Structure formats: C-alpha cells, structure tokens
Amino acid sequence: MKKFFNIGLSAFAVVFAVPSFLILVSWNALPGDTLYGLKTGLEDIALILTIRTPLASAFSLNFTERRFAEANKLLAKKGSTVGYTLLVAGARETQTIIVDQKDTQKAEELIANIEVYQARIEEKKLAIATQPTAILPPQQPPATALPTPTQTAQLDTLTPATAVQVTAPIASPPPAPSTEAIIEDLETANQELEEIKEEIKKQLPPSASERARKEKEEHEKDNPRQD
C-alpha cells in the first residue's frame, strides 16, 4: 500500500512540476522571444479552466498587468511599441470576461489600472519627445554584409565591370522606428484604452462603493471645507 502511495505521490509531483517549470522558464519572455508563445499559452489554459468562475476575472486582470510590464520592457529594450498593442488586446479580453460575469468590483479595478497605464504612457510620450535617449535604446549602425568565400573566388576571375553585375546586393536591416512614429503608436494605445474604459462604464452599472465615492466627491464639491 505504501509503495502505491509513493508512486501516486511521485506521479502527482511530476504532473504539477512540469507546468510549474514551464511557467518559470517563460516568465520573463517578451513578445518576439521563443518562449513568449508558451507563456501566453499557459495563460490561455488558466482562463479556459476558470472561465465560469470569479478566478477568470482575477487572472485576466493579472495577465493585463503583465502585458503592461512587457510593453515597457520591450520599448526600453528594442524601441518597439508592439507590447502596447498587446496591452490593448489584453485589456479588451479582460473587459469581455468582466462584463460577461457582471463583476463590478473587477470592472472598477480594470478602470483604475487603465488610468495608471494611460498616465505612464503619457509620461513616456513626453520623455521621448524631450529626451528620447533616456527611454529608447541606442540606435545601432547598419551591419555591412561581406561577400562569402565562394563569391570572393568568383569575383577574382571576373573583370571589374562583370564583377559589379554578379555581386549580390547587400541586405540592410529594417530602419528603426522614428520617435514620431513611436509617440503616435503610444497615443493610439492611449486612445484605445480610453475607449475600453468608457465602454465598461456603459456596460456595467457602478457598484455601491463607486456610487458612494462619487456622492462623496459631489458633496465635497458642493460644500467646500471652511478652514
């Protein structure tokens, strides 16, 4: 009996160790990395398993937070705004889950998170416009492609005029996006986040805590403190 128990315990440990290992190795993956698909795939599995429970909203909020962190890292590391496009997509997915579950508390959390994202994006836009080197990675000079040994041998047997005709064109790397293009992408992301925020407010009524907060703000506005 003890033997079977130990075997079962070992099998249980292996079953749960594999996903844990995959999560750890893909944790810091960014869009474009080999392990990034694994990272988002594990997130999708977590949502599928919890889609009809309140955990789905919590997980989706957490995954949207990850997209925001990834977007900031990708911009600083590669000067890419792809992460912010994925952030918007993640926020929309979270919006759908929260609205389907009519989870007003999580809706408030998402709106609050979006407002933080928007503020940080505005800060980055300003920093890039005034001092891009403080935010973006340094520009790398284009690499010069050298002829292969076979091409060199062929060129040695040809006249200069003929050699020009057979020399393979040098492929240049794609140009890095301009600061203007990056700022435009960030502005687009902010506008789309604003749309998501407004849609949530229309789709779900405010919770009791949100109504109380608004009533307090209106009361303080109508009755300013007398110092």
pLDDT tens readout for residues 63-72: 999 999 999 9
Q: Domain for residue 207, yes or no?
A: yes
Residue 99 reports pLDDT greater than 90: yes
Does residue 118 contact residue 180 with C-beta atoms inside 8 Å? Answer: no
Residue 42 reports pLDDT greater than 50: yes
CA distance 83 to 93: 15
Q: Domain for residue 187, yes or no?
A: yes
Tokens (6 digits) for 76? 């600083």
Q: What letter would DSSP give residue 173?
A: P
Q: Domain for residue 221, yes or no?
A: no
Least confident of 2-11, 94-103, 181-190, 196-205: 2-11
Residue 125's pLDDT band (cuts 50, 70, 90): very high
- 130 in the Ramachandran plot: left (φ > 0), alpha (ψ -120 to 50) or beta? alpha
The answer to whether the predicted template modeling score (pTM) of the entire model surpasses 0.75 is no
Q: Domain for residue 76, yes or no?
A: yes
What's the structural domain count of the chain?
1
Residue 10's pLDDT band (cuts 50, 70, 90): very low
Residues 167-222: tens digit of each pLDDT: 445 555 556 678 999 999 999 999 999 999 999 999 988 765 555 556 556 656 76
Q: Which domain holds residue 46?
A: 17-136+178-211
Q: Domain for residue 172, yes or no?
A: no
Q: Domain for residue 143, yes or no?
A: no
Q: Domain for residue 9, yes or no?
A: no
Residues 131-169: tens digit of each pLDDT: 888 788 886 655 555 555 555 555 455 555 444 444 445
Q: Domain for residue 132, yes or no?
A: yes
- 102 in the Ramachandran plot: left (φ > 0), alpha (ψ -120 to 50) or beta? left
